[in-house]
Amino acid sequence: MFKSKRSGLVRRLWRSRLVTESDVRTGLEEDLASTAHAFLKRLKDRSLDALVKAVETKGGVPGECVIVPRTELRLSAHHVSPQYLLCRLFRWSDLPLSARLKALCHCQSFGSGDSVRVCCNPYHYSRLCGPESPPPPYSLSRSDEHKLLGKFGGGKNGLPTHQTDTGTSIGSSTSGGQRSHWCSVAYWEQRTRVGRLYPAFEPSLSIFYDLPQGTGLCLGQLHANQIRSKIGFGIVLSREPDGVWVYNRSQHPVFVHSPTLDLPSARGLSVKRVMPGFSLKVFDFECSSWMTEHGIKPETQEGPWDPHSIRISFAKGWGPCYSRQFITSCPCWLEVLLNTHR
């Protein structure tokens, strides 16, 4: 009976695997099948069950961590990690060997890069968006750095001064013995705010329309709206030591902007697209501290400006590269107000 159950779980997983024409053409399909089959056979029933739930619900039920020894598996002429293998097989058929995978904050592998064991649940990982373009002020090229510092001034020896402990200032204070919220989220539809301001106390916050097992800000509880339903599984906002990250778990891209995504000398608004399954650091604590210290305000901003806010639009972009010039023309968007306790 137990053997039959294991075989059934493996068959259910196998029906969900992703195979591309390129795999078939190059013969990689056979190598993938052989490597994955040998790997799955070593997993315990509980781990297989967690994988089935995560894969069949496409992350709607992320499931438990699937912990295995940190090792390398042979795939054709390459060696790959267990998490790469399962992400390649069940999430991203186009996942290149050079892809950077980031463990989500609720995963046991989050922040444990040197551990001898690792989680290989593919829905506990996201892909990282490409390198920041333009780079933040404190990592500019030599020529750009001189231009910027000549315009805005610098610290000792003409270089930006760093404050590495800025992350502790957000969401760390207490009031009456209770922990304070680290951000508040406002949901907007074009120029109209819908619902109340939602405070976030836990390090991560899910914002979604419909999620099988989701806790957080459920936009589906608001009055019916056909456009809003496209938000689906939505996003996860995560406060981490280096900044605030956005993980897109929906089926559509999201578009983001924050003060630390812009170079102060930038001529246009830097609105970044985050594709499904990808993560992006949308607010950098160190960069924000540097900008505040030097009194820097991006040239693209006119009038009142909040240096501690993030704006996120679902499915529709805005700015110089889009037909919508302002986020208030987007059908569904969020305003994330970071709590700096000032």
Same domain assignment for residues 57 and 201:
no
Last residue of a domain, one of 108, 128, 148: 128
| Mean pLDDT of the residues in the chain | 79
Is the pLDDT at 320 greater than 50, yes or no? yes
Tell whether 258 is covered by a domain.
yes
Give the number of other Cβ atoms within 10 Å of residue 220's Cβ. Answer: 16
* Percent of the chain residues past pLDDT 90, beyond the cut: 42
DSSP assignment letter at 208: E
Q: Could you tell me the CATH number of the domain that includes residue 43? A: 3.90.520.10
Mean pLDDT of 212-238: 84
Same domain assignment for residues 227 and 292:
yes
Residue 327 phi/psi, 5-degree rounding, is -65, -20
Same domain assignment for residues 99 and 197:
no
Tell whether 205 is covered by a domain.
yes
Same domain assignment for residues 295 and 212:
yes
Is the pLDDT at 167 greater than 90, yes or no? no
Tell whether 170 is covered by a domain.
no
Q: How confident is the model at residue 149 (pLDDT cuts 50, 70, 90)?
A: very low
Same domain assignment for residues 196 and 326:
yes
282/267: higher pLDDT = 282
Q: How confident is the model at residue 166 (pLDDT cuts 50, 70, 90)?
A: very low
Per-residue confidence (pLDDT) for residue 172, from 0 to 100: 44
Same domain assignment for residues 99 and 205:
no
Q: How confident is the model at residue 34 (pLDDT cuts 50, 70, 90)?
A: confident
Tell whether 151 is covered by a domain.
no
Per-residue confidence (pLDDT) for residue 145, from 0 to 100: 37
Relative to beta strand 178-179, strand 278-284 is unpaired
Is the pLDDT at 151 greater than 50, yes or no? no
pLDDT digits (tens, 9 = 90+) for 97-137: 889 999 999 999 998 777 899 999 999 999 999 764 444 44
pLDDT digits (tens, 9 = 90+) for 48-87: 999 999 998 998 887 899 999 998 998 878 889 999 999 9
Mean pLDDT of 306-330: 92
Q: Could you tell me the CATH number of the domain that includes residue 311? A: 2.60.200.10
Same domain assignment for residues 98 and 223:
no
What CA dihedral angle connects 303, 306, 310 and 313, to 10 degrees? -30
Same domain assignment for residues 188 and 334:
yes
Tell whether 61 is covered by a domain.
yes
Which structural domain, as residue segments, surrounds residue 276? 183-338
Per-residue confidence (pLDDT) for residue 230, from 0 to 100: 82
Same domain assignment for residues 205 and 312:
yes
Same domain assignment for residues 120 and 247:
no
Tell whether 147 is covered by a domain.
no
| Structural domain count of the chain | 2
Per-residue confidence (pLDDT) for residue 9, from 0 to 100: 74
Same domain assignment for residues 207 and 317:
yes
Per-residue confidence (pLDDT) for residue 91, from 0 to 100: 93
Per-residue confidence (pLDDT) for residue 140, from 0 to 100: 39
State the DSSP string of 257-324.
Answer: E-GGGS-TT-SS--PEEE-TTEEEEEEEHHHHHHHHHTT---TT--SS--TTEEEEEES---STTSS-
Cα(22)–Cα(271) distance, integer angstroms: 33
Tell whether 287 is covered by a domain.
yes
Place of tokens 């790469």: 84
Last residue of a domain, one of 128, 154, 172: 128
Tell whether 163 is covered by a domain.
no
- Among 70-84, 162-176, 184-198, name the most confident range: 184-198
Q: How confident is the model at residue 13 (pLDDT cuts 50, 70, 90)?
A: confident
Q: How confident is the model at residue 16 (pLDDT cuts 50, 70, 90)?
A: confident
Structural contact between residues 281 and 244, judged by C-beta atoms closer than 8 angstroms = yes
What are the structure tokens assigned to 131, written together?
């390198």
Cα(55)–Cα(49) distance, integer angstroms: 10
Same domain assignment for residues 221 and 116:
no
Last residue of a domain, one of 95, 128, 161: 128
